[in-house]
Structures are given as C-alpha cells and as structure tokens.
Amino acid sequence: TTLAIGVGAPMLAPPYGRAADGEFFFYSPQVGTGNLSQLKQAADHFLRDSETSLSFQPFARFEDLQREFGTHRPAFLVVPDWIAMDHCLGEELRPLARPVRDGRVFDRRALVAASEASSATDIDGGSIAATVPAAGRGSGSETLARFRREHPDVRVIPVPKDIDALLAVGFGQVDGAFVSMTQFELLAAVNPALTGSLHEIGYSIATPFPAVYATQYADAGVLATLKKALEGGGHTESGQKIARLLGYDGWQPVSEHEPPIAAGRCGGDAEARP
C-alpha cells in the first residue's frame, strides 16, 4: 500500500554526461520532492563556485539512487547515516561534513500522532507512515524495527519523504508517522493548522543529519577542494542558499579520525555493492 498525498512521480535528474570530476548523488527523506529542482540549481552553482566540475544529481527515491550507483559510480553522496550503514554503497563511505542546525548536528526521529493518542498502544490495529527503507541497522531504522516488533498489528505504510508521512497523518490517512522532528518543526512553521493537533508519542531517537560522504571513486584533489568548500560554505551566497533550502545553518567538518562506513560491516549480501 502506498499513500497518494504529496507523492508525485519520482524525480530523477535528466540524462547527463559524465562530469570530469564525477557525480555527486543526493537523497534525503527530509527534502520534499518539490524542492529538488531548486536544490539542483543551487548545488550546481555552489560546485561551480568551488571550482569543481562535479555533476549534482538529486533523487526523490532511494531505490533510484541505489540502482544508478553501480552504473555511474559517483564520487560523493549525501544520504542519511541509517541508510549508508545498511545498504553498503561501495567499498567504503568516508564522511566529510554534516549539516548544522541551531548548533546541532543531530536530528531526532520520533512517532507522532493525533492528540487523541497518548501512546503507541493507542494506535494498535491502525497504521503509520514512514520513509523507506523502513528497516535496517541504522539508529532511525532500528527504532522503527523495534516499533514493528512491539506493535505487530500496526501496518507500516512506506512513503518516499517525511513530508508525505506528516501530511498523511495530518489529513487522517494514517494514525501515526515516524518522522524527522526537524521536518515536523519546519512544517509547523508554515502550516500550524495542520500540525496543531499532532504530538510526539514515543520511539524517539537521535540521528545525525544526512552527511556528505566521499566514495572510493573520489579523486584526492577533488575531495580536498570540496571539503574546503564545505567548510566555508556558510560564508558564500551559493552555500547559504543550499543551507536555507535544506533547513540548515551550514556544515561542520567531520573529524578525520571518524572511521568510514565499510561494506564489510553490512555482511556479504550488500545490495548496492558494485
């Protein structure tokens, strides 16, 4: 079962030639499909300002990014940690920078429902909406998997984006939604009437904002150039525009001591390993 609210045809960037410095793939369930065209324009501008010829390609659905990964072998990715850990995109993903919002590099994912529900037990026998992939090893998906074990009679309906899940619960199509609380706050700011009757009822977990990763296909020189650009992104017009579109204040460099996410950590059946 899928939900119709807010879900249009999947957006995949138009066919493109291989850029000299490689491709830069992007997927985040926190970014609405309607913003992807604006995001691509802003990111292309930022990458030109950074003196790289990377081609930025946003995806509305993770499944599309996963399918294209093996063919195009992108040099850089933006994906949530809980997806990167579970799907083994390449031999390793080395984090370069994470977004910052209000001084935080962590978001929270939680179960929200209408005010009539005071706990998850109150929606037993009903349904919740959640972004897919809906189960895995990362912190956000592990929490959702725990919810499914503890409430097996609640149907989990997959949607591409957090905004779709929020609209679905706001309009009463489902009884709850497992979503980013940052996205909840952003929707509440523009549509308080829709979110006014919704509140958090549990299963809260801190999750890092989607990081910028270098893959094994990244050229060392381009990697250094992009990392420097990300560190100064909050001080450039094009970098600030990307941050505004994503709801962030800027990017924080990741410590060089933080280990990469390696394919071997996901076992021998990695789905997207090229």
- Confidence band of 140 (pLDDT split at 50, 70, 90): low
State the pLDDT at residue 20: 59
Q: Cα(108)–Cα(93) distance, rounded to whole angstroms? A: 23
Domains 23-103+210-266 and 106-208 share a fold: yes
DSSP for 33-86?
GGGHHHHHHHHHHHHHHTT--PEEEEBSSHHHHHHHHHHH--SEEEE-HHHHHH
**How does DSSP classify residue 109?**
E
Q: Cα(219)–Cα(61) distance, rounded to whole angstroms? A: 27
Condensed to tens digits (0 to 9), the pLDDT of residues 65-94 reads 888 987 888 999 999 887 787 776 877 899
Identify the bridge partners of residue 56 per DSSP, sorted by sequence position: 24
Q: What is the CATH number of domain 106-208?
A: 3.40.190.10
Q: Cα(164)–Cα(179) distance, rounded to whole angstroms? A: 10
| Cis preceding-peptide flag for 133 (omega within 30 of 0) | yes
User: To which CATH superfamily is domain 23-103+210-266 assigned?
Assistant: Periplasmic binding protein-like II (3.40.190.10)
Condensed to tens digits (0 to 9), the pLDDT of residues 91-107 reads 789 999 988 888 888 88
Q: Cα(44)–Cα(40) distance, rounded to whole angstroms? A: 6
C-alpha 207, offset from chain centre: 11
Average pLDDT, the chain: 81
DSSP for 110-161?
EEEEETT--SGGGGTTSEEEEESS-SSSSHHHHHHHHHHHH-TTSEEEEESS
**Cβ proximity of 10 and 161 under 8 Å:** no
Q: Can you give the length of the chain in residues?
A: 274
**Cβ proximity of 84 and 261 under 8 Å:** yes
Q: Where are the domains of the chain?
A: 23-103+210-266, 106-208
Least confident of 124-138, 203-217, 222-236: 124-138
Q: Which residues contact 215 (CB under 8 A, 6 or more apart)?
A: 73, 74, 75, 76, 77, 89, 90, 92, 93, 94
- Confidence band of 109 (pLDDT split at 50, 70, 90): confident
What's this model's pTM, rounded to 2 decimal places?
Answer: 0.76
**Cβ proximity of 22 and 226 under 8 Å:** no
pLDDT over 70 for what percent of the chain? Answer: 82
Q: Which residues contact 25 (CB under 8 A, 6 or more apart)?
A: 57, 58, 59, 65, 68, 69, 72, 74, 76, 77, 78, 79
State the pLDDT at residue 222: 93
Least confident of 17-21, 56-60, 94-98, 165-169: 17-21
